[in-house]
């Protein structure tokens, strides 16, 4: 992997005065060719460097796509990641990965098991972050899985306390975040989809996030999927991040009504594409969603993005949805 060379922080800021910056949550669909290569690798029929080359080519293609669509804050697309918790667990000390576990229906996944003290021994995502940065002149958002979610989705055989494990994981996520900032990341998103599922532990999630973001020299963002928001709002706003990227469209913009009960004080990355639906939302509908978000959050604090990661959509669906999101945002920008 080639080194992209020194990158100054100033070079990678969003254009000054840009309203409604366009971004995504993190994952893009994996092309068929990459899925096949990963399967061949698992069967021992493809070597690691060949798989790596394909992952690099698809990462570059994903960056090109985002540029061509007109997105402002890019992501690396996560071509090299499988599951969002297992990927980090595989690269940290203290974890082993279980055999296949059945979740709902016929879905199987590998669950991370904590078998010792969790430790960060080397950067996990930094090389890929630098690679992505080397493919574009635009800023790239770094994406990490948050400590609360890592804890909630792992099976603990060592700490015996959800709190101890979450705080230990917060320390390792902090180390990774620091390494990303040193590599030029100005936007760091710490995904915490599990928060909205267990409202009773919101205080622990907030404590853990403090360990990750306090004093971190980057714009901090968290992504939380739809869940029991009424139970954690407005306490949720005490999460120490500057921006929330939230699923709005899948809930028919119900969250925006909730923000009417107590002002939403952060930047909002408004989810204006339902990633669970095959439907390509027309530009007019996406525009309505952006305008609805603008009635709750001023333009100076609004970003535009899909509800969630795009990995469950086909490459064609993801591209068509994003195309309409960009067109709708440009139309709204002209009215501001
Ligand atoms: Zn999500």
Q: How far is the CA of 45 from the centre of ligand 1 (A)?
A: 34
* Token duo for residue 54: 């394909």
Distance from the CA of 321 to the center of ligand 1, in angstroms?
16
pLDDT at 3: 45
Query: With contact defined as beta carbons under 8 Å apart, do 213 and 190 qualify?
Result: yes
Closest CA to 186 of 247, 147, 237, 133: 133
pTM (predicted TM-score): 0.94
Quick: pLDDT tens for 301-310. 999 999 999 9
Rounded average pLDDT over 163-182: 98
For residue 191, CA distances in Å to 69, 290, 326 come to: 24, 22, 23
Residue 10's pLDDT band (cuts 50, 70, 90) = very low
Check pLDDT > 80 for residue 8.
Answer: no
Q: How far is the CA of 202 from the centre of ligand 1 (A)?
A: 17
CA of 306 relative to ligand 1 center, distance in Å: 9
Ligand 1 centroid to residue 224 C-alpha, Å: 6
Closest CA to 192 of 183, 201, 184, 181: 201
Q: Is residue 7 pLDDT above 80, yes or no?
A: no
Gap from CA of 246 to ligand 1 centroid (Å)? 7
Radius of gyration over every alpha carbon of the chain, rounded to an integer in angstroms: 19
- What is the arithmetic mean of pLDDT over 170-184? 97
d(CA 177, CA 171): 10
For residue 264, how far is its CA from the centre of ligand 1 (angstroms)? 19
CA 115 – CA 112 distance, rounded (Å): 9
**Position 12 confidence tier, pLDDT thresholds 50, 70, 90:** confident
* 100-101-106 Cα angle (round to 5): 100
What pLDDT, on the 0 to 100 scale, is given for residue 227? 86
What is the Å distance from ligand 1's center to 271 Cα?
Answer: 9
- 147 Cα: distance to centroid of ligand 1 (angstroms): 16
Q: How many Cα neighbours within 13 Å face the side chain of 121?
A: 9
Could you confirm whether domain 66-335 is CATH 3.20.20.210?
A: yes
For the cut 70, the answer to whether the pLDDT of residue 6 exceeds it is no
Largest CA distance in the chain: 57
CA of 9 to the centre of ligand 1 (A): 28
Q: What is the pLDDT of residues 40-95, one digit of tens each?
A: 999 999 999 999 999 999 999 999 999 999 999 999 999 999 888 999 999 999 99
How far away, in angstroms, is 326 Cα from ligand 1 center? Answer: 20
Rounded to the nearest whole angstrom, what is the distance from the C-alpha of residue 225 to the centroid of ligand 1? Answer: 4
Give the pLDDT mean for 250-260. Answer: 90
CA distances from 286 to 252, 278, 309, 327 (A): 12, 15, 17, 9
Distances (CA, A) of 228 to 198, 221, 233, 264: 8, 20, 9, 17
CA of 194 to the centre of ligand 1 (A): 10
When pLDDT is cut at 50, 70 and 90, the band that residue 11 belongs to is: low
Mean pLDDT, residues 167-193 taken together: 97
Q: Which pLDDT score is estimated for 82?
A: 87
Q: Which two tokens stand for residue 22?
A: 């366009």
DSSP 24-48: --SB-PPPHHHHHHHHHHHTTSS-H
Question: Cα(49) to centroid of ligand 1, in Å?
Answer: 31
Is the pLDDT at 131 greater than 50, yes or no? yes
Q: For residue 82, how far is its CA from the centre of ligand 1 (angstroms)?
A: 15
């Amino acid at each position: 992997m080639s080194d992209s060379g020194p990158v100054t922080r100033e070079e990678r800021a969003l254009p000054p005065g840009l309203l409604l910056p366009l971004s995504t949550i993190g994952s893009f669909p994996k092309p068929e060719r990459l899925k096949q290569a990963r399967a061949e690798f698992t069967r021992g029929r493809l070597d690691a460097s060949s798989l790596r080359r394909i992952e690099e080519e698809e990462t570059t293609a994903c960056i090109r796509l985002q540029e061509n669509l007109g997105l402002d804050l890019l992501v690396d697309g996560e071509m090299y990641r499988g599951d969002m918790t297992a990927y980090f667990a595989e690269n940290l000390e203290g974890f082993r990965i279980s055999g296949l576990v059945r979740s709902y229906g016929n879905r199987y996944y590998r669950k991370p098991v904590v078998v010792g003290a969790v430790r960060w021994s080397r950067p996990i995502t930094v090389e890929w972050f630098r690679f992505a940065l080397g493919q574009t002149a635009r800023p790239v958002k770094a994406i990490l899985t948050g400590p609360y979610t890592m804890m909630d989705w792992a099976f603990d055989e060592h700490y015996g306390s959800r709190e101890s494990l979450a705080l230990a994981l917060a320390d390792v996520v902090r180390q990774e975040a620091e390494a990303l900032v040193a590599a030029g990341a100005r936007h760091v998103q710490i995904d915490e989809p599990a928060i909205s599922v267990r409202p009773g532990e919101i205080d622990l999630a907030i404590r853990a996030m403090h360990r990750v973001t306090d004093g971190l020299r980057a714009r901090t963002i968290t992504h939380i999927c739809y869940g029991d928001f009424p139970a954690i709002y407005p306490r949720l706003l005490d999460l120490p991040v500057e921006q929330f990227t939230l699923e709005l469209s899948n809930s028919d913009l119900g969250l925006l009504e909730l923000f009417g009960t107590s002002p939403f004080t952060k930047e909002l990355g408004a989810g204006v594409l339902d990633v669970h639906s095959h439907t390509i939302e027309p530009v007019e509908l996406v525009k309505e969603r952006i305008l609805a978000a603008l009635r709750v959050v001023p333009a100076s604090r609004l970003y535009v993005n899909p509800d969630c990661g795009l990995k469950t959509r086909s490459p064609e669906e993801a591209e068509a949805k994003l195309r309409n999101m960009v067109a709708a945002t440009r139309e709204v920008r002209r009215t501001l």
